[in-house]
């Protein structure tokens, strides 16, 4: 979004300068795009500040911004944060919080959108050890070519609650797969993790930037 707004501003400046765009139209486009860009940047900075603050309060090893797709525990596509500490995972929105202990976590699947296109729902169920399930919201996002997840990662987590009922979280994040691999390896979760990634993404390379 920010890149698109910058492109609008620069294009409007150029077209106005060469008289291909009336001055009043150029001013309108530049002003509108600039205001929206400032709002976007401010919101992103506020999100990062809140992520750092909550990570400290929860004594979490790391935290990332995510979107939770349709399904439990949230009824719709919802922005949230995911934190990991020695006790397990915490999924948090502005008003609610859910947790999965490390012991109750059964499977964690990390994949890219391109990889998930090649995996059927039946194969996903086998990988995650869940009963027959249709991943409608996930497939719909993939079909829409959603830019928010095109270069990011998909995290799918299965777990058992206190009553031994199986649950699943399907999360999208803009964090690159290589960053999440480093975080998962540092968290000693590789024994429960399935990496469905292009081989080159799994090769050790330069240290990834910390995700906060």
Q: Which residue has the higher pLDDT, 147 or 34?
A: 34
Residue bearing tokens 């081989």: 199
Question: pLDDT per residue over 41-96, tens digit each?
Answer: 888 888 889 899 999 999 999 999 988 876 667 666 788 899 999 899 999 988 88
pLDDT of residue 206: 36
pTM of the model: 0.74
Q: Please spell the DSSP secondary structure of 37-48, one letter per residue.
A: HHHHHHHHHHHH
| Mean predicted lDDT score pLDDT of the chain | 81
Domain boundaries, the chain: 2-50, 60-202
Q: How do residues 116-157 score in pLDDT, each as one tens digit?
A: 888 888 888 888 888 877 787 778 777 776 666 667 788 999
Q: How open is the CA angle 180-185-187, to the nearest 5 degrees?
A: 95
For the domain with range 60-202, which CATH number is right: 3.40.720.10, 3.50.50.60, 2.30.29.30, 3.90.1150.10?
2.30.29.30
The upper half-sphere exposure of residue 195, i.e. CA atoms within 13 Å in the direction of its Cβ, equals 19
């Amino acid at each position: 979004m920010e890149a698109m707004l910058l492109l609008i501003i620069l294009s409007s400046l150029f077209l106005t300068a060469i008289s291909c765009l009336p001055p009043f139209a150029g001013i309108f486009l530049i002003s509108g795009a600039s205001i929206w860009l400032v709002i976007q940047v401010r919101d992103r900075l506020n999100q990062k500040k809140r992520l750092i603050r909550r990570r400290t309060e929860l004594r979490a090893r790391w935290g990332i911004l995510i979107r939770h797709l349709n399904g439990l525990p949230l009824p719709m596509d919802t922005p949230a944060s995911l934190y990991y500490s020695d006790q397990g995972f915490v999924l948090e929105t502005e008003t609610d919080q859910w947790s999965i202990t490390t012991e109750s976590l059964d499977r964690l699947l990390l994949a890219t959108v391109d990889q998930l296109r090649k995996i059927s729902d039946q194969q996903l169920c086998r990988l995650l050890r869940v009963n027959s399930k249709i991943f409608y919201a996930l497939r719909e996002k993939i079909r829409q070519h959603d830019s928010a997840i095109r270069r990011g990662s998909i995290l799918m987590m299965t777990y058992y609650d206190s009553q031994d009922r199986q649950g699943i979280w399907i999360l999208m994040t803009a964090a690159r797969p290589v960053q999440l691999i480093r975080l998962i390896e540092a968290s000693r979760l590789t024994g429960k993790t399935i990496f469905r990634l292009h081989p080159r993404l799994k090769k050790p390379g330069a240290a990834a930037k910390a995700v906060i």
